[in-house]
Structure 1
Amino acid sequence: MATIKHLSSKNSNYAAAESYLTFQHNEYTGLPILDEKGRPKLRDSYLLDTLECGESSFAMACLIANRKYGKNGGREDVKTHHYIISFDPKDAVENDLTMERAQALGLQFCKENFPGHPAIVCTHPDGHNSAGNIHVHIVIGSLRVRTVERQPFMDKPCDWEAGKKHRCTSAMLRHLRVAVMEMCEQADLNQINLLEAQGDHVSEREYWAQRRGQRRLDHANAKLAAEGQQPTQTVYQTELDKLRKQIYAVLNKTTTFEEFSALLMQEHGIAVKESRGRLSYCPPGRTKFITAKKLSKKLEKEQVLTALSQNIQLATAIQPASEQKPDKIRKLVDIQANVAAGKGIGYERWAKKFNLKRWSQTLCLLQEKKLLSEDALHQRIAELQTQHDDALAVVKDLDARMVSLKELRGHLVVYRQYKPLAQKLQTVRNPAKFKEQHRAELAVYEAACAYFKANGLRTLPDLKKLDAEYQTLSSEKNGFYTRYKKAQIELRELRTAQQNVEAFFRKEERSHAVPQQEVK
């Protein structure tokens, strides 16, 4: 699933771009990493080429263009644009993606979409998160050095004339996303629909805030571990991430929008408002609302209402779980070990009462289940383990089939929606112009066709049948999941009871062993 990201820079030091791509830098401070002699350390592996620079370096080509056209002299002028194309880590294994192949794709992408701009194309084998994703950096000078042939995605003369600056508009970004999707389709690489938001939206600023916060937390936890203390938190959460999880928690247990908004305010102090068909959220301590688009695709109005309607359907299954539950069986406390570790007399008195209650609960459970012998208890635990594993395997299998059906349904909807456009393309007078006007829609349509071909689907299924099959699988999954949870709860109780029985008899053995040693 290749993605594309854009960054702009006002740094007048054009050589810094090439330095960043070729030398190692601290990912938190941005400063170069030096060796023992104080010189910058080269990256372990990279491929680098330049375009539209002639015999000059990238920095010199940009400076010559600035002087020739008298531009980029102000501090607030954008000097360079930085595009990053990140490929799916699985492409290296499944689709034979190498650095050389990625570099060739990046060069071709740069020639087609940024003609006339001095450019650096550099491929790295891995990213900041060490996920193993090959990615291509394309850094272009903001000023075009020559007039180029007008392309369909160019709207104004400044998009192809020499001496004009590159415009990274929303239309341009949309065109580039479609171009990345087409590139991956032609190269048989994994790809998602970049025109539609996927899951949580994490901005560049939030990403680095999380990385820096996790780094500080790791240092603090290392100090606690050195002092023999147990860390209370191991994963750092940004404020936006906390907000998402709080909203998700409330969304999963409400059935109406009124209940959803009221419970958000009651439990977390989060206000919700709807404006022009869009939802916004305001956590406590803020006065400005945050749009759902900046948080997650799942928190937009349509997805929220869909989740609430699904909760209504599951309300009958959730309702019995809200009934009063008996106290859980808990493990006995090792009083002697804790007293030896320094616990006082008050703790010993409390622990004796605690163990007495838990032992009575254990005996009641074993009598209720008619498991008063060790063999019967072991046999029942083995039976429950088998039921637990079998039900879990079925749940995972059904879940995988549901995911496959959902993916098929998505492609089928797109195919039927844009099939008339594809048919109209065959009859219009100017196919090239029509194709450029509907480039994004046709790209998604062709991706759906490629999916059908890859899965050997010559006859497309009916949507109603797919929905009915999905509902059947969902009900089957809920049934097996109930069996799985029931077996899991009983298995956990019986294992705890088994440990309590073993701990009780070990205590009895120790109490009988002490007088014998005194007689000797």
Structure 2
Amino acid sequence: MTATTYFRPRHIDKGRSILATLKKSLDYGKNPKKTRDGLLISTYMCDPATADAEFLLAKRQYYYITGREQKRDKNILLYQIRQAFKPGEISPEEANRIGYELAMRFTKGRHAFIVTTHEDKHHIHSHIYFNSTTLDCTGKFDDFLHSGRAIRRLSDTICIENGLSIVENPKPSKGNYGTWLGDEKPPSFQEKLRRAIDAALEKKPSDFEAFLSLMEASGYAVKRGKHIKFTGPGQKRGTRCDTLKGDYTEQAIRERIEGIRMVVSGGGSAFEPATTKVNLLIDIQAKIQAGKGYGYERWAKIFNLKQAAQTLIFLQENGLTEYAALEKKAAETTAAFNALSEKIKQVETRMKEISELQKHISNYSRTREVYVQYRKAGYSKKFLAEHEGEIILHQSAKKAFDALGLKKLPSINTLKQEYAALLAEKKKLYQGYRQARENMKNLLTVKENTDRLLRYSPSAPEQENLR
């Protein structure tokens, strides 16, 4: 079973800033203990480590571009979708892929989003967060009437396409989430086995044989041979180690013992940047008003000093000590990124059109003889009842051709060649996409910090020099 249990907008929390609210929401989803230390996270047009700051920057760009600003209680920061799956029917990796597809198809690629899949309970479920502000920062998501119902229908459609069962009448409220999925059920044997493996490895066995001895000591029967098999208490049939996949195959366990494969566990965050870079300055006053104490204030001041220094270094290294030059460069990199994004969208749109056209041409060819017989039968209702599926496919294909204004159908081979050329172009565009996004993000962050340091506002006179 799979179902979207709820879809809800996220407003600014009382007593919190916008960034703090975004961070709280996303940190819950990104919890390394629930997402296998971040392996079960996928994103679109944002980075897991900085998604909250990127969402915030998009909102500030929206204000600068449109001049529109909503009241605090009306301002929707992001939208959250929760999608749950029947225990034992899907792997966490597949659940994350389906969550990504749901987000992409629902937002039509117009909003940045992050998909976090949790495997800490017996039922696999994903939390999807997408920014309310569009990628081009000129609009916001239109939360239309019955949008939650539309998401559930789309979710069901995707699940059926992937051979998964669905809930006929799921209870959408947060309180009923565990009820209809059965939170009281014990974890599966595979989940218990993974936990036992982690517990054994935490004892730092010297080699694989020592690891197996620890597993036996914990109550598991171990069958050695070509394939290692574990049988837990109360389990009739054992579980082959390799069926666990990921960090729990025999090879993966050997690598973990030897220290070749690192699996982060416990309270450490997998999302802290490994290298020093420019981050957004903290609004200390807002934090103090939200209840932060003297210790936090002291830490935040040191943090802001470091970020101010990083900002200055960035400006000097890139020759942007003139404010006008910084402003121009930020605008240029944003325009370059948007142009590249638009080009990729155009290529992807054409690729989708080609795929649809190939499908219609194939259907048209396969059903043409049936439709000819249907016409010869004088559009007989009896004939229609017997061949309704073929006739509908044929009419649908013909309607698609008419909509495209096609008088002569292109050959499948020609369409395949065009698709291959577009795919190659898309791969080439994506080579520069990540760098363009990083450049834009860095410059917008530096500009935001510079504006704060100079107490700059859109209505204030321009600063001539940053030195």
TM-score by length of 1: 0.38
TM-score by length of 2: 0.42
Could you say which structure has the greater relative contact order, defined with CA pairs below 8 angstroms and 6 or more residues apart? 2
Larger Rg: 1
